[in-house]
Amino acid sequence: MYNIFARVKAPLWSRRSGHRVGSVFRLHRQSGLLSHEAVMKNLRVQMPSCNFTPETYQGMSKERMLEIRKMNCNGMTMKVTYYKEPLFIHRGFMQWLWDVDGSRYLDMFAGVATVSLGHCNPKVMKAAQKQLLHLWHTSAIYVYPQIQEYAEKLVSHLPEPLKVVYLTNSGSEANDLALLMARLHTGNFDAITLRGSYHGGSPLMMGLTSNTAYKYPVPSSLGCCNTMCPDVFRGPWGGSHCRDSPVQTLRECSCTPGQCQANDKYIEQLKEVFATSVPNRIAAFFGEPLQGVGGAVQYPKNFLKEAYKLVREKGGLCIADEVQTGFGRTGSHYWGFQTHNVLPDIVTMAKGIANGFPMGAVVTSKEIARTFAEGLHFNTYGGNPLACSIASSVLDTIKEDKLQENCAVVGTHLLKELAKLRDKYEIVGDVRGKGLHIGMEMVKDKASLAPLPPGDMAEILEDIKDMGVLIGKGGIYGQTFRIQPPMCITKDDANFTLAVFDQALQNYMERR
């Protein structure tokens, strides 16, 4: 597809150490012979230009930052730096990040799908600055215009009867609140989610999050149950027409038009959960319209529609977790649930809701809200004037800058070109997603579909970073690269990302 380097070959055997090392550019960077900028100049496909120049970093040294991080920050911060050497970020502007040495990176992960409009987006920043001059914080015990203005604007993007808004500080908190609402409204207790799902890290959400990596050996799963994730790539059933995506799996499919055998099988699994694992009446079913942390897993087109019907027959509410899929990211629709032609009883959202400012929301019907109002719910920070002003600007900017449309155009281009890499490399098992919510699942080979080991994933991730692109990873086994960039990226950015991926995969194959 693309050949990145003009003169640099990928692998090198170090006779001195007796070990294979990465690409020549990485070896040179580690030895101080080649700067980040020099590597960029050697690329045949150049990093797209940027008309923003950051100020020179003059803050704390790297060594001091790591010392404090180790001594005073929570232990998890040392485990999730992704790279062998932590990336020391100094500045951001739109889809770009700069480290403390002045090296520029294309951010294709958006602070874990959060900075949806871009770092320091000028329109959002202007709204924040304006509000900071007037009122930072007061709580909902008083009436102030920002929360009313935002609530009205937010629900204008949602169908009836989803018209009552509760504002929180995070997605975990929003999902906690949604589960409480469902239990109170139905009078039932048990909730069902999909395996591989992630709904937050709070003690309550740990039970609904169906991924061992995020669990602790404490009581957290009371009343929480999971069903088989309808993963048409890795699951036992799937075909070549299952997904609402520009890219389908390589599995053969003998289904007649309008029929999906894989969907029927996964629905049977849900029915078996109803028959064996929960009481006759349940409180809720949680589902991400398209899994995020689980690795951008997509379901058969009718799965959620049929699942919602079964859940409601059991007295449960259907809850759409839009923390990663909402606000136009899927391109074709504003909300992920709309791509499945379903209407949830409750919608939760966070991350891109305020472009990185801590905020979340729960939206539901007046009927469910009336039940919840029988008690007293209060949130000190939820919906404060600053958060609402920023979130309101996000809604305006998505519309003004046609970012949903950009997700559809650039995302579809990126997906189709990534599919060519899947066809080119044996280790790329699947490419999937919608809009700018994309996953590339890595395997040892296409015959076994065994997940590519963590060490191998880290090698490729390191190469991609060294060539100037930042991405994420997910999946139960950490085997899926996640691409969820700011929604403002361009086709040139996408093409640069494709070139970097191609070279990194080539480097890996030549090192084997």
Distance (Å, whole) CA 446 – CA 145: 56
Q: What is the model's pLDDT at position 7? A: 29
Contacts of 380 (CB under 8 A, 6+ apart): 139
Query: Domain containing 311 — which CATH number?
Result: 3.40.640.10
In a domain, 375, yes or no: yes
Task: State the pairing for strand pair 96-99/89-93.
Answer: antiparallel
Q: What is the model's pLDDT at position 40? A: 53
In a domain, 395, yes or no: yes
In a domain, 285, yes or no: yes
Summarised one tens digit per residue, pLDDT across range 438-453 is 999 999 999 999 999 9
CA gyration radius for the chain? 23
Classify each residue of 420-434 as buried b or exposed e, where b means 16 or more C-beta atoms within 10 Å of its C-beta.
ebbeebebbbbbbbb
Q: Are 478 and 457 within 8 A, CB to CB? A: yes
In a domain, 33, yes or no: no
In 3-state terms, what secondary structure has residue 430? strand
Is residue 401 scored above 80 in pLDDT? Answer: yes
Q: What is the model's pLDDT at position 39? A: 53
Q: What is the model's pLDDT at position 79? A: 62
Q: Are 266 and 237 within 8 A, CB to CB? A: yes
| Alpha carbon separation from 313 to 182, 183, 437 (Å, rounded) | 15, 16, 32
Helices (H), 294-402: 303-313, 366-372, 385-400
Contacts of 226 (CB under 8 A, 6+ apart): 192, 193, 194, 195, 197, 210, 273
Q: What is the mean pLDDT of the chain?
A: 90
In this structure, the number of other CB atoms found within 10 A of the CB of residue 187 comes to: 10
In this structure, the number of other CB atoms found within 10 A of the CB of residue 64 comes to: 10
Q: What is the model's pLDDT at position 8? A: 34
Distance (Å, whole) CA 416 – CA 410: 10
| Residue 252 burial class via C-beta count within 10 angstroms: exposed 0-12, middle 13-18, buried 19 and up | exposed
Mean pLDDT over residues 141-166, rounded? 96
Specify the DSSP class assigned to residue 425.
Answer: -
Mean pLDDT over residues 217-225, rounded? 88
Distance (Å, whole) CA 25 – CA 191: 51
Query: Which string of DSSP letters, residue by residue, matches 493-506?
Result: HHHHHHHHHHHHHH
Sign (positive/negative) of CA torsion 418, 419, 422, 424? Answer: negative
Q: Is the pTM of this model over 0.75?
A: yes
Q: What is the model's pLDDT at position 15? A: 22
**Range with lowest mean pLDDT among 69-73, 293-297, 346-350:** 69-73
Q: How many CA atoms lie within 13 Å of 367's alpha carbon, on the beta-carbon side?
A: 9
Classify each residue of 127-166 as buried b or exposed e, where b means 16 or more C-beta atoms within 10 Å of its C-beta.
bbeebeeeeeeeeeeeebebbeebbeebeebbeeebbbbb
In a domain, 472, yes or no: no
Q: Are 422 and 428 within 8 A, CB to CB? A: yes
Mean pLDDT over residues 266-290, rounded? 97
In a domain, 67, yes or no: no
The CA-based dihedral angle spanning residues 129, 130, 133, 136, taken in that order and rounded to the nearest 10 degrees:
-80
In this structure, the number of other CB atoms found within 10 A of the CB of residue 306 comes to: 17
In a domain, 82, yes or no: no
In 3-state terms, what secondary structure has residue 194? strand
Is residue 245 scored above 70 in pLDDT? Answer: yes
In 3-state terms, what secondary structure has residue 108? coil
Distance (Å, whole) CA 104 – CA 40: 10
- Looking at the 3D structure of the chain, how many domains does it have? 1
Distance (Å, whole) CA 121 – CA 421: 32
Using pLDDT thresholds of 50, 70 and 90, give the confidence band for residue 38: low
In this structure, the number of other CB atoms found within 10 A of the CB of residue 437 comes to: 27
Terminal CA-CA length for the chain: 21
Q: Which residue has the tokens 């404060």?
A: 384
Higher pLDDT residue, 451 or 34?
Answer: 451
Summarised one tens digit per residue, pLDDT across range 205-220 is 999 999 998 888 888 8
In a domain, 196, yes or no: yes
Q: Are 95 and 494 within 8 A, CB to CB? A: no
Using pLDDT thresholds of 50, 70 and 90, give the confidence band for residue 32: very low
Mean pLDDT over residues 185-197, rounded? 97
Backbone angles phi, psi at 79, to 5 degrees: -95, -20
**Range with lowest mean pLDDT among 32-46, 220-234, 294-308:** 32-46
Mean pLDDT over residues 279-306, rounded? 97
Q: What is the model's pLDDT at position 5? A: 36
> What angle do helix axes 24-31 and 454-466 make, rounded to 10 degrees?
70
Most confident by average pLDDT, 14-28, 365-379, 490-504: 490-504
Is residue 2 scored above 70 in pLDDT? Answer: no
Summarised one tens digit per residue, pLDDT across range 311-349 is 999 999 999 999 999 999 999 999 999 999 999 999 999
Q: How many CA atoms lie within 13 Å of 287's alpha carbon, on the beta-carbon side?
A: 30
| Alpha carbon separation from 421 to 173, 249, 404, 415, 500 (Å, rounded) | 39, 13, 26, 10, 11
Domain that holds residue 239: 124-400
Distance (Å, whole) CA 97 – CA 109: 11
User: Is the bond into 161 cis (omega within 30 degrees of 0)?
Assistant: yes
Distance (Å, whole) CA 426 – CA 447: 9
